[in-house]
Chains A and B, each alone.
Chain A
Amino acid sequence: MSSQTTDRRQRVNASTTGVIDAAIDRPGELSGLRSSQSEELREDRETLVELLHQMILIRRFEEKSAESYSLGKIGGFCHLYIGQEAVGVGAISAVRRDDYVITSYREHGQAIAKGIPAEAVMAELFGKSGGCSRGKGGSMHLFDKGVNFLGGHAIVGAQIPLATGVAFASKYKETDQVTLCFFGEAAVNQGAFHESLNLAQLWKLPCIYICENNRYGMGTSLERAMSSHNVADKAAAYELASEFVDGMDVLAMRRATQRAVERARNESLPTLLEARTYRYMGHSMSDPGNYRTRAEIEKYQERDPIKLFTATLKETKVLTDRGLADMEGEIKEQIEQALRFAEESPEPDPKELYTNVYANS
């Protein structure tokens, strides 16, 4: 690693929760990253409880998605977010409702975190007219203009130039909106990533690129796919600010994103965040996962984002056992309601086949 790269990271991260060089020596590992738990909790109680609520809601939603997929109620591809909840929830908690989020096909969790109702997401997975894309997009193409959720995109890395353009529009129109763009580490090998980072820094666009490094592009490990394993370092080639973040730590994600949002909103500058995380489930529902061991999955589950944050909230007396049980109960009811809505929502009218091809159709 060049000294320039190191200097840049140190400069950018002068005030962060985030990075120690131990992480850099063990590519893709989580354990070297310092946790936010050594810091005091700055957020109010309501915010902290909401973060946990969202993470548990997303996990239960995904468990129900897996079950519904197995029952044949969800078709096509279905990519689950289990294990990565802290990344989407923490990052999206740092932006406003009118800020933009655009992402890949593993987006159920981010869609819910940005404010699409769980029932509209579930109905979309079911291919129903009550879905957030009216049943025409499915699991990989969730959209909601009302909350500026700009999709689920299913070509690896394709959302990265799109996000750059959304940020361009904010700057052009002189709004102070920022754009969060999520993608997996495998997308970093696409030209679209590099072309976008170059344009974003060249034109000073308020875009925050969040790489969810879950260590696998489908069944190919990071080590087998990337000559240089540290994604955040790649920002140096384009002189972008960057950070490594513990993607299992919701507060670390929130705070790193807050710093990036500040940079984007106040200085109109992009940032690359590399969130080190892990997906517990297969790439999609049809993936048997023969490329990794049960022991490896269990190792990462020791630092499960929900388990970690629940412990923090209990230790700091933000949440009691009773409070947690109540929360689980509410979420269970919410998921049941989403499922009922999806079941009962009608299929799209056959006439919908030919609508929305063109703006006047």
Chain B
Amino acid sequence: MAVITMRDALNQALREELSRDGDVFLMGEEVAEYQGAYKVTRGLLEEFGPKRVIDTPITELGFAGLGVGAAMAGLRPIVEFMTFNFSILATDQIINSAAKMLYMSGGQFKIPIVFRGPGGSAYQVSSQHSQALESWYAYFPGLKVVMPSTPADAKGLLKSAIRDDDPVIFIEQERMYGMKGEVPDSEDFTIPLGVAEVKREGTDATIVARSLMVPAALKAAEELEKAGVSCEVIDPRTIRPLDIDAIVASVKKTNRVVVAEESHPFCGVGAEISAEINERAFDYLDAPVKRVSGADVPMPYAKNLEQLAIPGYEQIVAAVKEVSYL
């Protein structure tokens, strides 16, 4: 297995799936000639040509809807948002068209489309370019939502998303594109959607973390090991469908749980996971479920304020100690 960046793992997944299926095409702002704003699509125009790797104007509602229409007529579009912040302009087409088409047509029109791009916090780009939108999309039946935390997961999950017959929201963490990890070379390597992975086994407390919070949770687990607390870190990888059974199984083993996320706490994915745990494993809990979330404020620009807004491993350590009554 080669050690490559998340960026290159995503690039491999796109290249392999474009090679595998002629109905797959990629479009978005600056994906072709510019080689991608974050270089995820580097080299794809040269390899697949302008018919299949398409630069769009800055017209998010238009090209998102165009993608959904193309999917209705049998293609498998991959639509890149330069960042998910811009997907807000396209939400009518994602939510009202893509998510509901199969249902309201009585099963006649499936929408095999992937909307992908960076999301979550970035570096000092302030309020409109630095936010986590997964709870928006995960709210809607009909959509699937995927958030990888390692290069291997990124590749395997993106390949599954492209092959999936439903609309998939695939959120790549903007700060993690340069993260390196081992990635299988095989073109057959995929990871099924809806399956969580235990990133570290432990016995005393469970940390449920996704995306940027997975490395933070692993670092927190290392620190806590020194303090004699064995933490299990579980990454759902797919927010919808959520592998709640795997999370509950871990909670039943450890009896204590912290849910870590960089998004806002109010109506967030962490709130949903917390509610599910309470409904399914209340009698196994030795402490209330604890959430660690981003600050409930628009993202500030100033570096010190930005750091305060995004949770780090220290807050996760503190939360695990709290549920462990240490």
Chain A residues with CB under 8 Å of chain B are 100, 102, 131-137, 141, 143-145, 150-151, 153, 155, 158, 160-170, 172-173, 191-192, 195-196, 198-199, 202, 355-360
Contact B59 A158 (CB under 8 A): no
Contact B106 A134 (CB under 8 A): yes
Please tell me which one of the listed residues A141, A145, A198, A358 contacts residue B62 in the complex, with CB atoms under 8 A apart.
Answer: A198
Contact B67 A158 (CB under 8 A): no
> In the complex, which residues 52-86 of chain B have their Cβ closer than 8 Å to any Cβ of chain A?
56-57, 59, 61-75, 77
B102: Cβ under 8 A from any A Cβ: yes
The residue of chain A having its C-beta at the shortest distance from the C-beta of B107 within the complex is A356
B25: Cβ under 8 A from any A Cβ: yes
A192 contact set on B, CB distance < 8 A: 61-62, 65, 92
> In the complex, which residues 87-134 of chain B have their Cβ closer than 8 Å to any Cβ of chain A?
92-93, 96-97, 101-110, 112
The residue of chain B having its C-beta at the shortest distance from the C-beta of A192 within the complex is B61
Please tell me which one of the listed residues B62, B102, B165 contacts residue A195 in the complex, with CB atoms under 8 A apart.
Answer: B62
B56 contact set on A, CB distance < 8 A: 199
Known: A158-B96, A199-B57. A165 touches B107 (CB 8 A): no
Contact A168 B105 (CB under 8 A): no
B71 contact set on A, CB distance < 8 A: 165
A196 contact set on B, CB distance < 8 A: 62, 65-66
B88 to chain A, nearest CB (A): 13
CA distance A191 to B62 in the complex (A): 8
The residue of chain A having its C-beta at the shortest distance from the C-beta of B99 within the complex is A357
What are 19 sample pairs from A and B whose C-beta atoms fall under 8 A apart?
A: A131-B106, A134-B107, A137-B105, A141-B104, A145-B109, A150-B69, A150-B109, A155-B96, A162-B69, A162-B97, A164-B62, A165-B67, A165-B68, A168-B69, A170-B73, A173-B75, A199-B59, A356-B103, A357-B141
A167 contact set on B, CB distance < 8 A: 69
The residue of chain A having its C-beta at the shortest distance from the C-beta of B241 within the complex is A358
Known: A144-B108, A172-B70, A202-B57. A164 touches B65 (CB 8 A): yes
Closest 4 CB pairs of A and B: A165-B69, A161-B65, A195-B62, A134-B106
CA distance A213 to B189 in the complex (A): 53
B51: Cβ under 8 A from any A Cβ: yes
Please tell me which one of the listed residues A143, A160, A355 contacts residue B108 in the complex, with CB atoms under 8 A apart.
Answer: A143
CA distance A172 to B142 in the complex (A): 26
A217 to chain B, nearest CB (A): 17
The residue of chain A having its C-beta at the shortest distance from the C-beta of B27 within the complex is A168
CA distance A15 to B113 in the complex (A): 42
A172 contact set on B, CB distance < 8 A: 25, 51, 70, 75
Please tell me which one of the listed residues A141, A163, A166 contacts residue B105 in the complex, with CB atoms under 8 A apart.
Answer: A141
The residue of chain A having its C-beta at the shortest distance from the C-beta of B100 within the complex is A141
B235: Cβ under 8 A from any A Cβ: no
A199 contact set on B, CB distance < 8 A: 56-57, 59, 62-63, 66
Please tell me which one of the listed residues B57, B92, B106 contacts residue A356 in the complex, with CB atoms under 8 A apart.
Answer: B106
B29: Cβ under 8 A from any A Cβ: no
Known: A199-B63, A356-B102, A357-B141. A166 touches B72 (CB 8 A): yes
B306: Cβ under 8 A from any A Cβ: no
A240 to chain B, nearest CB (A): 15
Contact A358 B105 (CB under 8 A): no
Contact A151 B105 (CB under 8 A): yes
B166: Cβ under 8 A from any A Cβ: yes
Contact B65 A162 (CB under 8 A): yes
CA distance A198 to B67 in the complex (A): 15
| A interface: dominant SS | mixed
B68 contact set on A, CB distance < 8 A: 161-162, 165
B107 contact set on A, CB distance < 8 A: 134, 355-356
> In the complex, which residues 135-175 of chain B have their Cβ closer than 8 Å to any Cβ of chain A?
141-142, 144, 164-166
B77 contact set on A, CB distance < 8 A: 165
Contact B61 A191 (CB under 8 A): yes
The residue of chain B having its C-beta at the shortest distance from the C-beta of A102 within the complex is B69
Known: A143-B108, A356-B103. A166 touches B62 (CB 8 A): no
CA distance A161 to B113 in the complex (A): 15
CA distance A160 to B59 in the complex (A): 14
CA distance A356 to B110 in the complex (A): 9
Known: A161-B93, A165-B69. A198 touches B59 (CB 8 A): yes
A307 to chain B, nearest CB (A): 36
Please tell me which one of the listed residues A132, A145, A153, A169 contacts residue B70 in the complex, with CB atoms under 8 A apart.
Answer: A169
Seed contacts A137-B105, A162-B69, A196-B65; 9 additional CB < 8 Å A-B pairs: A132-B106, A143-B106, A151-B105, A165-B67, A170-B73, A202-B57, A356-B102, A357-B102, A358-B142
The residue of chain B having its C-beta at the shortest distance from the C-beta of A154 within the complex is B96
Please tell me which one of the listed residues A143, A158, A358 contacts residue B97 in the complex, with CB atoms under 8 A apart.
Answer: A158
Contact A133 B65 (CB under 8 A): no
Contact B57 A161 (CB under 8 A): no
A264 to chain B, nearest CB (A): 15
CA distance A37 to B96 in the complex (A): 42
Contact B62 A135 (CB under 8 A): no
Please tell me which one of the listed residues B59, B105, B142 contacts residue A357 in the complex, with CB atoms under 8 A apart.
Answer: B142
CA distance A30 to B120 in the complex (A): 53
Known: A170-B73, A172-B51. A165 touches B65 (CB 8 A): yes
Contact B72 A162 (CB under 8 A): yes
B137 to chain A, nearest CB (A): 14
B96 to chain A, nearest CB (A): 5
CA distance A357 to B72 in the complex (A): 16
Instruction: Kindly supply a per-residue 1/0 record for chain B positions 185-209, scoring 1 wherever the CB is within 8 Å of any chain A CB and 0 otherwise.
Output: 0000000000000000000000000
CA distance A360 to B142 in the complex (A): 11
Please tell me which one of the listed residues A131, A164, A170, A358 contacts residue B66 in the complex, with CB atoms under 8 A apart.
Answer: A164
B68 to chain A, nearest CB (A): 6
The residue of chain A having its C-beta at the shortest distance from the C-beta of B102 within the complex is A356
Contact B69 A164 (CB under 8 A): yes
Please tell me which one of the listed residues B70, B92, B165 contacts residue A168 in the complex, with CB atoms under 8 A apart.
Answer: B70
CA distance A143 to B65 in the complex (A): 18
